[in-house]
Amino acid sequence: MEKPTIILATSNGVGMGHLARASAIALALKEYANPIIVSMAGGIAEIPEFMGIRCEYIPGRDRMWMSREKWDEYLRDRLLALVDETGARVMSFDGVVPYPGVIAAKVSHPKLALVWVRRGLWQKKPQRFVLGLQSQMMDYIVEPGDFARAYDFGPTAERKDARLTSSVSLFQKDTALSRDEARKVLGLDLNRPAVLVQLGTGDSDVNEKMTAALSGLLGWKDLQVILTKQPLDKDGKSLAPAGLDIRVVRHFPLARVLHAFDASVCATGYNGVHELLPAQVPTVFVSNIRGTDDQEARAQWCHDMGFALRANQADLGDVTATVKKLQDADVRARLSKKCAELPDPIGGAEIAKILYELAVREEPIRPSWLRYNQLRIQEHINRGMRHVAYMGLRRLALLYRFINPHIVVQVTRQEPPIWGSQNTAKELHPLIKGEQRFEHLITGASGAYIKRRKEIAEAAYGEKIEVINTKKQ
């Protein structure tokens, strides 16, 4: 039997959470299917080279490479073109808000099963008001398990429309390198202590948390402080206090080398918790309160259950004091030993099996929004009604974006787009981050697919966009 193709789409999001889950699922799928990851996240540049998975980058709406209205159509057409090229029968979407273009792709291709990989632990943000409608438009919903699910009191917690799995993580015991192996890969000293710091930089409060956390590491003898990017503010000024041996390393997936670290300081995002704790790395969590993810609830659970330390993200003094506790060998030993009690994060394999079973069904799955109404509407719905449904969902998404607008991060140029099927991080990173429009193609694309993609790009890039800063002051 020929392996089915399954498309795993993700939003750009904040951090690597969506992309990390899709990668974990894709790795599990490789044994019996052909996974393809499509994402608006720049981190997708790391995946093809290191995981051997075909990928396609889709520029997000916040790149401002086209108007917002055209972007919805562009995303729909990009997804449909990829479905037609690969013969995929299943597409998953990992993101908080399913884009209108994702829903429109399903409406335009009734035989395509659309699966929402919907993380729990939502804060009570505006997204909750469209949660019911978005859920009904899906064929299937999967909720990746969360160690802290007992502390989930958000809008998804009481819903009965999702299948709950184990937690999803790129960390797996059987593929993780030993301490010395991991240190050799990263170029770290084998005999000196090493701490991984993953807090991010950007706005002033985030920068202040980084400085406070690094200050808590001062005085740790012979310490190597490892970050994934330089700790600099927007003006290029260092956020690190003097006296620390700062090293910047890039390795993907980082989950594979976590045994290199004696401790870590990390934001309390989904993949941070579900990689560091199963790897038994003693950790201080400093939550990021932006976005939908209820990081404070997750951090509190980790602290209350004894698996990690929680620093009060609103108190810089507490951040420094809590991080300083990691210098105590007994504290680190206690946390590491406690983490051994956690279940293995095998949700990636569980979700992969769900997607595969949907892909090999002889009959298309009945969409949940049809089951909800107990009618087979899809066979009878006309084009006008589909258009109304699509436009209604799109307006709801636009309403959310009015309340919580994207930050415009890129000025567009008028040059024709760059085309290519690059599959190394070295090639992809500058193209994804650059100012010139970039049209990425999966490796092995057919002539017909390239022709269709050029038609889609021509329709999308017909006008210049005036760039303004839509960030709330």
Q: CA triplet 368, 373, 379: central angle to 5 degrees?
A: 75
For residue 143, what is the DSSP state?
A: E
pLDDT in tens, 53-80: 999 999 998 888 888 889 999 999 999 9
* Nearest alpha-carbon partner for 136 in 331, 304, 369: 369
Mean pLDDT of 298-325: 98
Share of the chain above pLDDT 70, in %: 86
Of the candidate ranges 16-20, 59-63, 208-212, 407-411, the one whose mean pLDDT is the lowest: 407-411
* Nearest alpha-carbon partner for 41 in 472, 440, 469, 444: 440
Q: With 90 as the cut, is the pLDDT of residue 209 above it?
A: yes
Give the amino acid at 127.
Q
Of the candidate ranges 176-190, 280-294, 355-369, the one whose mean pLDDT is the lowest: 355-369
- pLDDT at position 463 is 54
pTM exceeds cut of 0.85: yes
Share of the chain above pLDDT 90, in %: 71
What are the CA-CA distances from residue 237 to residues 35, 216, 268, 428 (Å)? Answer: 42, 19, 25, 27
Q: With 60 as the cut, is the pLDDT of residue 230 above it?
A: yes
- pLDDT at position 376 is 37
Question: Which residue bears the tokens 């995303």?
Answer: 75
Quick one: tokens of 51?
Answer: 């995981």
- pLDDT at position 200 is 80
Whole-angstrom Cα distance, residue 75 to residue 54? Answer: 18
Mean pLDDT of 3-11: 96
Q: Are 385 and 125 in contact (CB under 8 A)?
A: no
Quick one: tokens of 247?
Answer: 């090293």
Residue 168's Cβ-count burial label (10 Å; 0-12, 13-18, 19+) is buried
- pLDDT at position 97 is 86
**Selected residue with higher pLDDT from 13 and 176:** 176
- pLDDT at position 15 is 63
- pLDDT at position 377 is 38
Would you state the torsion angle of the CA atoms of residues 209, 214, 217, 221, taken in this order, to the nearest 10 degrees? 180
Mean pLDDT of 444-448: 96
Q: With 90 as the cut, is the pLDDT of residue 189 above it?
A: yes
Q: With 70 as the cut, is the pLDDT of residue 387 above it?
A: no
**Mean pLDDT, the chain, as a whole number?**
87
How would you classify the pairing of strands 34-39 and 54-57? Answer: parallel
pLDDT grade for 262, boundaries at 50, 70 and 90: very high
pLDDT in tens, 16-44: 789 999 999 999 999 999 999 999 999 99
- pLDDT at position 55 is 96
Q: With 50 as the cut, is the pLDDT of residue 185 above it?
A: yes
